[in-house]
Amino acid sequence: MADVHVAEKAQKFSINKIRNIGIIAHIDAGKTTTSEAILFLTGLKHKIGVVHDGDTVTDYLVQERERGVTIVSAAVTTFWKDYRINIIDTPGHVDFTVEVERSLRVLDGAVVVLDGKMGVEAQTETVWRQANKYHVPRLFAINKINQTGGNFFKTLASIKLRLTENAYPIVLPIGFEKEINGWVDLVNMKSYTYKEYSDKDLIEGEIPENMMEDALKYRKELIEKAIESDDVLMEKYLAGGELTTEELRSAVRKSSVDPEIQFYPVLGGDFRGIAVHQILDAVVDYLPSPMEVVPATGIDLKTNEPVICQPDNDAPFMALAFKVVTDPYVGRLVYFRVYSGTVEAGSYINNTTQPGVKERLGRIVLMHADQREDVKAVHAGEIAAAVGLKETKTGDTLTLNDTNVVLEKIVFPDPVISMAVEPKTKSDQEKLGLALKKLADEDPTFRISTDPESGQTLIAGVGEFQLEIKVDMLKRDLGVDVNVGAPQVAYRETIKTAIDIEHKYIRQSGGRGQYGHVKLKMKPRGRGEGYEFKNEVVGGSIPKEYIPAIEKGVKEAMGKGVGWGYQMVDMEVSVYDGSYHDVDSSEMAFHIAASIALQEGARKSGLELLEPIMKVEVVTPDEFMGDVIGDLSSKRGMISGTEALNNYVTVKAFVPLSEMFGYVTNLRGMSQGRASFSMEPDHYEVVPTNLAEKLKV
């Protein structure tokens, strides 16, 4: 790595000169290669790393370098002109969407990289929806347009069809496919050409005559959308005035940074080399600083009033921990984004999400993927990593002194697939628990549990690939050798109809007895609405101190399941009456009474088994489309649509997860290895009765 004193440089930047951005896209669109080109162009690397050669900075895990995919989000601090840019390169594989989710939560802007040969792909749509949820300003970078099949304008049409109509080119490529050698800048109406991608020097010139018509057309569209945010410029334009370069650049920036306007600049090139100039210039010109985004808000735990986190170094310190990793050199690292105030290394931190947790922030480091550099302090708007926080988890709020504010937590999807793991030797058995805890600490969608009947350790996640990577990490990174079982679907149970049920638990065996009497109301909720417990007891028929025990009994019974042994979901349970005994009643008695009542009520109501339905997208050469659709239909799949682009067809479907095991092998066989697919959990649906009966324990 180049000898750059990042920590010293970083202290010189005011908050309006900081850009916190993410690079997001579908797998293989070129995110990591783009990041590498940025590091090369900004002087942090002597050469551009190639993903499949295993010499990239942001893909630093051995699993990433072997498989040629990004698995964890990596943070890099770099500099362009007089700006500090914090970049997070996020995974494109759908099984690691959690990395994108938590990155977007703390970023101010994003670069959406698209494969110019494929257009908008499945995971692009997923990350686009995530970015919409957090109102993140974005710009598009259409990559690989200098390769055979690459087409800037077809990809632009794909963006407008599948993502947003408010996408407007600010550059146009000069040339087509392998003949591309530069671009036209529609803001200053100049051309920029180069001889080789390795050149750092651009040749500025006039727009080629054969491109002038297109340039004027797209510039007109750009102006008319951009000036919607500026009444003065709109009045000037409508009166026939010509906008200056600075006026148009200001209008594009104003529209881009305002999430309410939803304006997205579009760039194009092959971002391995010189064309990355476009991205860096656009990031500083059109994506917001921490001062320009809507301030984060929290809740004051004492007053329950909202608190705005002003991006001010002198305000009270408030930060969000968004990622936990185990570093082989410094141990546990907690990435955090500072929303307001300043914190120094050595400070004692309050974790307001976990009341009572107070920890010493031993060191603060700036990260360049797997490289790190110590700094004395970090300020509002910055992203850094902390050494020394042992209890802090992803989504926790960090404050100083008496600041008692908690920021909005990050919500993660529940697992839909699990498998059993067994240690091979006694020494592996001793290490397994600690190793699994480390992995679960780093990934909130990775869960560990114990099967109460078999005693087996179960690991669960959102996809097969995720669990495959975790098992590989167990063996190679953490030195634990394990046997693994076949992947299992995470089914769920729920009730069919509303029902009232009561149960009296009475035990008398000499001395003090046990007495607990509860009346429960149970009713189903909509799919995905989860579980809710209500206390509707009035008049003291059950003392308040026993209500938590009742809720605990209900949750315990739901966790074990009733008909199939799977967790129960999507239902409301209310305790509305009962009775107690002055001497014999206890928390245990009410706990047991509630648990039995829940089980009896569920059986009387009628039970349904729910299965995870996956959103599946298959990209196949058009000659295999019929075979793909027929195969998905045979798997109880529901075809939701098809789209054609460049002799390839994207088939969209919803398919039960239980039918998709081993699909990659099937797909290769029916498409001569030329088709690919992606899938992600979408929702739960009722399993057909005949199949549900076969699954009963």
Where along the chain do the CATH 3.30.230.10 domains lie? 493-605
Q: What pLDDT does residue 435 have?
A: 86
How many residues belong to the chain? 697
Architecture of the domain made up of 6-286: 3-Layer(aba) Sandwich (3.40)
Phi-psi region of 410 (alpha: psi -120 to 50; beta: other; left: phi over 0): beta
CA atoms of 86 and 75, how far apart (whole Å) = 7
CATH topology of domain 297-407: Elongation Factor Tu (Ef-tu); domain 3 (2.40.30)
Q: Which two tokens stand for residue 210?
A: 């054969």
Phi, psi of 660 (to 5 degrees): -105, 0
Mapped onto helix, strand or coil, the DSSP state of residue 235 is helix
Nearest CA to 648 among 675, 629, 668, 677?
Answer: 675
Distance between CA 697 and CA 694 in Å, rounded? 9
Nearest to 567 by CA among 418, 421, 394: 418
Q: Residue 7: is its pLDDT beyond 60? A: no
**Contact (Cβ atoms closer than 8 angstroms) between residue 132 and residue 300:** no
Hey, what CATH topology would domain 493-605 get? Answer: Ribosomal Protein S5; domain 2 (3.30.230)
- Among all chains, which residue has been given the structure tokens 């170094």? 313
**Count of C-beta atoms within a 10 Å radius of residue 539:** 6
Q: Single out the residue of 169, 187, 174 nearest to residue 274, CA to CA.
A: 174
Domain 422-483 adopts which CATH fold? Alpha-Beta Plaits (3.30.70)
Give the global pTM: 0.71
Which pLDDT score, from 0 to 100, does residue 446 have? 86
Integer Cα distance of 79 and 395 in angstroms: 28
pLDDT per residue as tens digits for the range 164-205? 999 999 999 988 887 888 889 999 999 988 776 555 677 889
β-strand 171-173 against 182-185: which pairing, if any? antiparallel
Residues 6+ apart with CB under 8 A from 27: 69, 91, 92, 93, 123, 678
Segment 398-415 shows an average pLDDT of: 84
Angle at 502 between CA 497 and CA 503, to 5 degrees: 130
pLDDT single digits (tens) 357-396: 899 999 998 866 556 788 899 999 988 889 989 889 888 9
Nearest to 9 by CA among 18, 36, 1: 18
Query: How far apart are the C-alpha atoms of 551 and 120, rounded to whole Å?
Result: 46
Query: Over the stretch 437-460, which tens digit does the pLDDT of each residue have?
Result: 888 888 878 888 887 666 788 888
- Residue intervals in the chain for CATH 3.30.70.870: 422-483
Tens of pLDDT, residue by residue over 206-261, are: 999 999 999 999 999 999 999 987 889 989 988 888 889 999 999 999 999 987 88
pLDDT for 258 equals: 86
- The confidence band for 12, taking pLDDT boundaries of 50, 70 and 90, is low
CATH 3.40.50.300 segments of the chain: 6-286
Q: What pairing do the DSSP bridges indicate for beta strands 357-360 and 109-115?
A: unpaired
Q: What is the Cα Rg of the chain in Å?
A: 28
Give the up-direction half-sphere exposure of residue 570: CA atoms within 13 A in the CB hemisphere: 23
Residues 589-595 have a mean pLDDT of 96
pLDDT-derived band at 130 (thresholds 50, 70, 90) equals: confident
Q: Name the least confident of 144-148, 380-384, 409-413, 457-461.
A: 409-413
Question: What backbone torsions phi and psi does residue 83 show, to the nearest 5 degrees?
Answer: -120, 145
Q: What is the biggest distance separating any 2 CA atoms in the chain, rounded to whole angstroms? A: 102
pLDDT for 8 equals 45
> Which has the closest alpha carbon to 492: 574, 604, 570?
570
Tens-digit pLDDT profile for residues 331-363: 888 889 999 999 999 999 999 998 888 999 999
Overall average pLDDT of the 662-679 stretch:
83
Ranges in the chain annotated CATH 2.40.30.10:
297-407
276 falls in which pLDDT band (50, 70, 90)? confident
**Phi, psi at 402, each rounded to 5°:** -95, 10
> What is the per-residue pLDDT for 64?
36
Return the pLDDT at 70: 36
Average pLDDT score over residue span 582-587: 90
Span 501-524, mean pLDDT? 89
What mean pLDDT is predicted for residues 399-422? Answer: 84
Beta-bridge mates of residue 436: none
Euclidean distance between CA atoms 451 and 566, whole angstroms: 11
Q: How many C-beta neighbours within 10 Å does residue 446 have?
A: 21
pLDDT of residue 48: 43
Where does the chain hold its CATH 3.30.70.240 domain(s)? 610-694
Give the pLDDT of residue 72. Answer: 39
Alpha helices in 407-461 (DSSP H): 426-442
In whole angstroms, what is the distance from residue 54 CA to residue 67 CA? 9
Q: What is the pLDDT of residues 49-79, one digit of tens each?
A: 444 444 444 434 443 334 333 333 456 778 8
Interatomic CA distance for residues 340 and 309, integer angstroms: 6
pLDDT higher than 60, residue 89: yes
The percent of residues above 70 in pLDDT, for the chain, comes to 87
Residue 140 phi/psi, 5-degree rounding, is -100, 140
Phi, psi of 34 (to 5 degrees): -65, -45
What CATH number is given for 610-694 in this structure? 3.30.70.240
